[in-house]
Amino acid sequence: MSKHPEKETTGRFSYDGLERAIHEKARLGILASLMTKSEGLLFSELKGLCALTDGNLSRHLKVLQETGLVEVWKGFHHNRPQTLCRMTSEGRARFLEYISVLEQVIADTAAADADPQPARKYLEGWSPV
Amino acid sequence: MSKHPEKETTGRFSYDGLERAIHEKARLGILASLMTKSEGLLFSELKGLCALTDGNLSRHLKVLQETGLVEVWKGFHHNRPQTLCRMTSEGRARFLEYISVLEQVIADTAAADADPQPARKYLEGWSPV
């Protein structure tokens, strides 16, 4: 090991591309659903696909709308009011960028040691905290 | 489309396996680093790899330790106190489970429409919110 290994690889695992608006677990599910349906999904469909309550889905859609990832439309279907959610084109691009970072995370850990090694020997008199 | 599509696929995109203790962005970086070094990493090395401040790294390590993902040891190296962080064997297993869900997210979105479609036509008199 070199003397200053951290200096050579600063931020190697900081994954800056994991945009927070996308990375939140429920929002990741909402966006993945919408990516598969570019013509949009109704509020009730999204709610089912993501197993979210009305309140949680509304809250997350607000964040996604405010950050420009999703557009929300109101309209009628068979005279009943409906809400349609749809990825913006910018949202699609940002989501694909996010996915490329996830692929990096997976690639990084695929290179992980297959067999766990004993803890480093050079620490003397060490004890668990 | 069937009459009740949401019923057929309830929770299809809920990604329940994305354990929150792991999914947080900074912790994901810490764990990915530790997965590549099963003998453990020193606090100072982790700090550099993940581009975190002392305070943030300490805070996240506490969560990882409390949830059983990481073990933390104190010891000495060349008479200087050092902190060593290491995945637990349970942590490795849970991390690999988490990674398998990320792979599912990527597979789901790889199947996304290559070309965005126009918004659904059946909504009448719709307008953006």
Mean pLDDT in chain A?
Answer: 87
**What number of other Cβ atoms are within 10 A of residue B83's Cβ?**
20
Q: In the prediction, which pLDDT does B128 show?
A: 77
For residue A105, give the nearest of B32, B124, B128 by CB distance: B32
Q: List, as one string, the DSSP characters of A29-46.
A: HHHHHHHT-TT-EEHHHH
- How far is it, in rounded angstroms, from Cα A18 to Cα A98? 6
Question: The complex's ipTM?
Answer: 0.85
Using pLDDT thresholds of 50, 70 and 90, give the confidence band for residue A7.
very low
pLDDT at B112 over 80: no
- Identity of the residue numbered B31: L
Cα→Cα distances B27→A57, B64, B125, Å? 25, 8, 46
Residues A37-54: tens digit of each pLDDT: 988 999 999 999 999 999
Contacts of B49 in chain A (CB under 8 A): 6, 9-14
Q: In the prediction, which pLDDT does B88 show?
A: 95
Quick check: B127 and A73 CB within 8 A? yes
- Identity of the residue numbered B59: R
- Token code pair at residue B59: 């805070």
For residue B51, give the nearest of A10, A48, A119 by CB distance: A10
Using pLDDT thresholds of 50, 70 and 90, give the confidence band for residue B5.
very low
Residue B115 vs residue B70, higher pLDDT: B70
For residue B5, give the nearest of A45, A77, A105 by CB distance: A45
Q: Nearest 10 degrees: CA dihedral of A8, A12, A16, A18?
A: 170
Contacts of B77 in chain A (CB under 8 A): 122-124
Residue B70 vs residue A79, higher pLDDT: B70
- Mean pLDDT of the A65-91 span: 92
Contacts of A32 in chain B (CB under 8 A): 13, 15, 105, 108-109
What element of type H or E holds B83? Answer: strand B80-87
Q: In the prediction, which pLDDT does A66 show?
A: 98
Nearest CA in chain A to B124: A76
- Mean pLDDT of the A77-103 span: 93
Q: In the prediction, which pLDDT does A118 show?
A: 65
pLDDT at A5 over 60: no
Q: In the prediction, which pLDDT does B119 show?
A: 63
For residue B105, give the nearest of A5, A28, A108 by CB distance: A28
Residue B45 per-residue DSSP state: H
* Least confident range of A28-42, A69-83, B76-90, B108-122: B108-122
Quick check: B25 and A23 CB within 8 A? yes
The strand ranges marked E within chain A are 41-42, 70-77, 80-87, 124-128
Using pLDDT thresholds of 50, 70 and 90, give the confidence band for residue A92.
very high
Q: Nearest 10 degrees: CA dihedral of A113, A119, A122, A125?
A: 170
- Token code pair at residue A104: 């990096």
